[in-house]
Amino acid sequence: MDHFLHLLSSGLARGAVFAVFALALVLIWRAARIVNFAQGAMAAATTYVAFAVTAATGNYWLGLAAAVLAGALLGLVVERGVMRHVARQSPLNSVIVALGVVMVLQAVLGIAFGNDYTPMRVPFSMEPLWVGGVPLLSPYDLYVIGAVAMLLLALGLLFTRTAVGLRMRAAAFAPETSRLLGVPVSRMLTLGWTLSAAVGAFAAVLVIPTELGLNPHATDTLFVYAFTVAIVGGLDSPVGAAVGGLVVGVLLSLVTGYLGSTLAPIAVLVLLVVVLLVRPAGIFSARQVRQA
């Protein structure tokens, strides 16, 4: 039982980060109807910014803020500089260009900072709090979960309560109609990229310190899991990303703990098959989405 509780809590902590990263994918899907394969590499790049700023100032929070800003900027640059020029007739073309962006970013990071892993500092202890003799969440885990919850809340408010959020949704779901109604669709698209990249940057800063450290490829696995999470939850659903993240995080932890690490990817595959057989567009898919 102790073992189970520990696996559960560490799975939840990791799942929370998957959730944020998946959320970034959901944001861009809602804004531009593409899966941003460059999300991982972009987040790795911005984490280098966080590292540099923290190293220079000695302040974790400045580094985090810098990464989020850099993420927004990178999202803007990638959308305006590259994605905007990709032909619209095939969503696949954007995927290919995104893969090109991945290669460029990872190569530039490798050239600039080398291929080795760099450890990152965190503001809270990673030693778990003991509850009844069981090591549960660490202060850092609690910070991550809290940050994720607040972010979800903020984004939820943005999309449901603010004019700009509503416009973004309108521009994504019905670009032609929105344009006629005076919504600056193109600007909304850019905003979607900016927002998504900033969220991705935030997630990477949270997760990289808990893994091997900073490296041009540090977010490769994160991206793969986040993509799975977004599919499980439903690409259109921020809530789906949150729930999917926790589900996948806990599943990975339990399977690794009880059946062995080797089986973890197979378990994720099985989860995906089961979910998609029951809900072909993810757990939290809206009915009308399937006709979109």
Partner 1 sequence: MTRPRIVRAVAAAGVAALLVPLLASCSADSTDDASGAAGDAEPAPGVTDTEIVVGTHHPLSGPAAAGYASISAATTAYFAYLNDNGGVNGRTIEYIVKDDGYNPATTQSVVRELVLEDRVFALLNGLGTAPHSAVLDFLDENEVPDLFVASGSPVFNQPDEHPWTFGFNADYTAEAKALATYAQEHFPGKTTCLLAQDDDLGEDFAAGLVTVLGEDGLASEQVYTTSNPDVSAQVAAMKQAGCEVNFLAAINAFSALAVGTAAKLGYQPQWLSSSVGGDYGTVSQYLGENAALLEGFVSANYLPSHFSETDEWTTLFRQINEDYNEGAPFDGNTVYGMSVGYLFAEALAKAGETPTRQGIVDAVTSGDLRGNGVVPLALSATNNGAYQGVQVTVVAGGVQEYVGTPYTAEPGAGEVTPYTGGPVALEDDGIPSS
Partner 2 sequence: MSAHSRIDARAARWRPGPTLRRLALTVLGLALAITATLALEPYRAYQAAVVAAYLCATAGLTLLVGRGGQLSLGHAALMAAGAYGFGLTSNALSAADVAGPVRLLVPLAVGVASAAALGALLGAAGARLRGPYLAGLTLAVVVAVPAITSTFSRTLGGDRGLWIEIERRPEALRPYVGAEQWQAWVALAAAALVLFVLGNVGSGSAGRQIAAVRDDEAAARLAGIDVTRVKVATFTLSAAAAGLGGAVLAYVTQIANPGAYSLVFSLFLVVAVVVGGLGSLAGAFWGALLLVALPELTSSVTDALPVSAGLAQRLDGNLAVLVFGVLLIVLMIAAPRGIQGALTAARRRDMRPRRPARGATPAPGPAAQTQGDPAARAPTAG
Window 90-129: contact mask with partner 1 (x via CB under 8 A): -----------------x--x----xxxxxxx----xxx-
Q: Rounded to whole angstroms, how far apart are CA atoms 31 and 68?
A: 19
Going by C-alpha positions, the residue among 1, 23, 6 that lies closest to residue 196 is 23
**Residue 257 CB, nearest distance to partner 1 (Å)?**
4
Which residue in 260, 277, 288, 290 binds partner 1 (CB under 8 A)? Answer: 260
Kindly state whether residue 256 participates in binding partner 1, applying the rule CB under 8 A. Answer: yes
Buried b (16+ CB within 10 A) or exposed e, 198-214: bbbbbbbbbbbbbbeeb
Which does residue 6 touch among partner 2, partner 1, none (CB within 5 to 8 A, set by kind)?
A: partner 1
CA distance 256 to 263: 7
Q: Are 129 and 138 in contact (CB under 8 A)?
A: yes
| Closer Cβ to partner 1, 135 or 175, answer by number | 135
User: Which of partner 2, partner 1, none has residue 256 at its interface (CB below 5 to 8 Å by kind)?
Assistant: partner 1
215: helix, coil or strand? coil
Stretch that binds partner 1, among 21-29, 54-62, 147-155, 255-263 (CB under 8 A): 255-263
Q: Does 107 bind partner 2 (CB under 8 A)?
A: yes
**Residue 56 interacts with, from partner 1, partner 2, none (CB under 5-8 Å by kind):** none
Return the DSSP state at 291: G
Q: What gap in Å lies between CA 100 and CA 96, rounded to an integer?
A: 6
Instruction: Determine if residue 174 is left, alpha or beta; phi over 0 gives left, psi from -120 to 50 gives alpha, anything else beta.
Output: beta
Q: Which residues bind partner 2 (CB under 8 A)?
A: 29, 33, 35, 37, 82, 85-93, 95-97, 99-104, 106-108, 110-111, 114-115, 224, 227-228, 230-231, 235, 262-266, 268-269, 272-273, 276-277, 280-282, 290
